[in-house]
């Protein structure tokens, strides 16, 4: 897990609340100007793939994912690998040379993250419990077919 | 709005072709015009996705019109990425329905096999959102993202996906116009090379050359265009809430059925845009032909095979007939007309009165559904 959670520039549609990262001038679904906002570089995998014949300028295999960031934006990024990755898995996003990469967060990373964010002791325990419960629940219902 | 009928159809054999694109388009156009009994149409609609880069020619509506000896006939070119052919049929339909023309020639075509595969992928990939492209997204990679999501709780697994390719290859084997005329087994599909995990090579349509044409008229003929609809979605895949259903198809189907005044239960045969095998499963549900979550099972059960309850892609689909981009949307109409008029030779279905054609532009940003009815 990165030491500092990345802050990513985004924009929000005042009409439908769609959050776009990177920011867009207009909402893709409404002819209204977007309001600037920020999202956190942490979220859940919506889908991922590994491309075995990537276009020129990219190394094979190329790992790609769409991640739903905290704050609601769906984000397109690279990854170092997809071994063991599942839809719904928690990942952190980091920029390396202006290119965004996702990395898998394990149970300990998730606990540390919630610990750091939790306001006081009660919240910490609740947050960790929620995180672990969610992980167990996902592991059961979203197992690959 | 007056009724619009299909008076003639024609297409070239699809595959690796040595002729120039304009000759392929002329071959298809001449066949359709001869069948329609029309020497000179009132208007021409040309569909090509990217002749500027594929063959180095521009101003392509005039290019084709002049080549056909129709330099005096008004011609326009229509482009909506991989659904350009369907869009051209729509434009021609609108001209006839509005009374602007009584006979319109639609001709779509593409030529790409003379270029190296990475170059073809790059040109087709221009239809993707620039930010996603900057991360190396190609059509197969976006389709891989859609497919991965589809494999989670939508009644689709590797066998269901593979069976689409098996079925469409089996149909293509009976189609003399098809790019691929050999069957494949489920094992061959499941063992084929991984392209964009979990999409494999045999889930993907080939790079093809070819052309197809139809003549739409105001006078009563054997097949009527009962309904036609367009639907749209965001250019960027990341701006969509849903990956496993295409809003653009749902909207197009709604519009087409509303115009036709009947529902999906009347459809006897469908040509579906299976550029990637799982897209056939998604699209069967998005068009309302099958209930959500049931397309995988129906495919494995043979319901969508030639002898099934709802034959899908009797031509072989994009998978086996091939996918010469802007020709495809027109070629789907050609197959539907052949089926409705009993001219599909060894792949002819039993009695059918209503056919549906479904075309996807880009990564489902600009989709079309067309309904044809034996008049």
3-state secondary structure of B349: coil
- Domains of chain B, by residue range, sit at 5-114+207-374
pLDDT tens sequence across B237-258: 999 999 999 999 999 999 999 9
**Token duo for residue B294:** 């049931």
How many Å lie between the alpha carbon of B50 and the closest alpha carbon of chain A? 19
Q: Kindly state the greatest CA–CA separation across chain B.
A: 56
| Mean pLDDT of the region A42-69 | 94
What fold does the segment set B5-114+207-374 form as a domain? Answer: Peroxisomal Thiolase; Chain A, domain 1 (3.40.47)
A142: chain B residues, CB-CB within 8 Å: 152-153
Are B121 and A55 in contact (CB < 8 Å)? yes
Tokens 């979990």, residue?
Answer: B198
Q: To the nearest whole number, what is the mean pLDDT of chain B?
A: 97
pLDDT tens sequence across B261-318: 999 999 999 999 999 999 999 999 999 999 999 999 999 999 999 999 999 999 999 9
**Token duo for residue B117:** 């595969």
Residue B176, φ and ψ in degrees, nearest 5: -65, -15
In which band, very low, low, confident or very high, does the pLDDT at A98 lie, cut at 50, 70 and 90?
A: confident
**Token duo for residue A44:** 């859940």
Are A28 and B239 in contact (CB < 8 Å)? yes
Residue in chain B closest to A17 (alpha carbons) equals B239
**B168 CB contacts (<8 Å, ≥6 apart)?**
B274, B277, B280, B313, B316, B317, B319, B320
Strands (DSSP E) along B161-245, which ranges? 194-196, 199-200, 210-217, 223-232
| Mean pLDDT of the region A53-68 | 92
| Mean pLDDT of the region B71-76 | 98
Residue in chain B closest to A54 (alpha carbons) equals B136
pLDDT for residue A134: 62
Least Cα distance to A63 among A38, A110, A99, A34 occurs for A99
Report domain A7-105's class.
Answer: mainly beta
pLDDT tens sequence across B327-360: 999 999 999 999 999 999 999 999 899 999 999 9
The pLDDT of residue A111 is above 80:
no
Beta bridge partners of B328: none
pTM given for the model: 0.92
DSSP B301-323: TTTTSTTSSS-B-TT-HHHHT--
């Amino acid at each position: 897990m990165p030491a500092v959670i990345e802050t990513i520039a985004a924009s929000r549609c005042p009409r439908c609340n769609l959050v776009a990262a990177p920011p867009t001038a207009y909402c893709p679904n409404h002819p209204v100007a977007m309001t600037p906002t920020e999202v956190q570089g942490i979220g859940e995998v919506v889908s991922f793939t590994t491309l075995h014949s990537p276009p020129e300028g990219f190394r094979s295999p190329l790992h790609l994912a769409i991640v739903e960031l905290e704050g609601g934006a769906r984000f397109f990024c690279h990854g170092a690998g997809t071994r063991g990755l599942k839809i719904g898995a928690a990942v952190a996003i980091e920029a390396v040379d202006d290119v965004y990469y996702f990395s898998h967060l394990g149970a300990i990373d998730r606990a540390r993250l919630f610990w750091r964010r939790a306001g006081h002791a009660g919240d910490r325990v609740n947050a960790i419990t929620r995180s672990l419960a969610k992980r167990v629940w996902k592991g059961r219902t979203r197992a690959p077919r | 709005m007056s009724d619009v009928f299909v008076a003639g159809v024609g297409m070239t054999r699809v595959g690796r072709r040595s002729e120039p694109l304009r000759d392929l388009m002329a071959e298809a156009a001449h066949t359709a015009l001869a069948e329609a009994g029309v020497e000179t149409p009132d208007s021409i609609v040309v569909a090509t996705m990217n002749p500027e880069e594929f063959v180095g020619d521009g101003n392509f509506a005039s290019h084709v019109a002049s080549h056909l000896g129709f330099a005096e006939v008004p011609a326009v070119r229509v482009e909506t990425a991989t659904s350009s052919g369907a869009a051209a049929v729509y434009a021609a339909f609108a001209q006839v329905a509005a009374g602007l023309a009584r006979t319109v020639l639609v001709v779509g075509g593409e030529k790409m096999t003379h270029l190296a595969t990475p170059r073809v992928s790059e040109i087709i990939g221009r239809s993707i959102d620039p930010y996603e492209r900057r991360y190396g997204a190609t059509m197969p990679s976006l389709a891989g993202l859609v497919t991965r999501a589809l494999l989670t709780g939508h009644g689709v697994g590797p066998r269901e996906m593979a069976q689409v390719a098996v079925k469409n290859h089996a149909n293509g084997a009976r189609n003399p116009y098809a790019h691929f005329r050999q069957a494949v087994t489920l094992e061959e599909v499941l063992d084929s090379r991984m392209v964009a995990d979990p999409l494999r090579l045999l889930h993907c349509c080939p790079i093809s050359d070819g052309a197809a044409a139809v003549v739409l008229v105001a006078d009563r003929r054997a097949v009527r265009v009962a309904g036609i609809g367009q639907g749209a979605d965001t250019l960027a895949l990341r701006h969509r809430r849903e990956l496993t259903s295409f809003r653009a198809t749902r909207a197009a189907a709604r519009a087409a059925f509303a115009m036709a005044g009947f529902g999906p239960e009347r459809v006897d045969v469908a040509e579906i845009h299976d550029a990637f095998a799982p897209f056939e499963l998604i699209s069967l549900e998005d068009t309302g032909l099958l209930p959500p979550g049931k397309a995988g099972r129906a495919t494995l059960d043979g319901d969508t095979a030639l002898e099934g309850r709802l034959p899908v892609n009797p031509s072989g689909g994009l998978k086996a007939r091939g996918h010469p981009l802007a020709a495809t949307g027109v070629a789907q109409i050609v197959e539907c007309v052949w089926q409705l008029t009993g001219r599909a030779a060894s792949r002819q279905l039993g009695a059918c009165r209503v056919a549906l054609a479904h075309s996807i532009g880009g990564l489902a940003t600009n989709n079309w559904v067309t309904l044809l009815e034996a008049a």
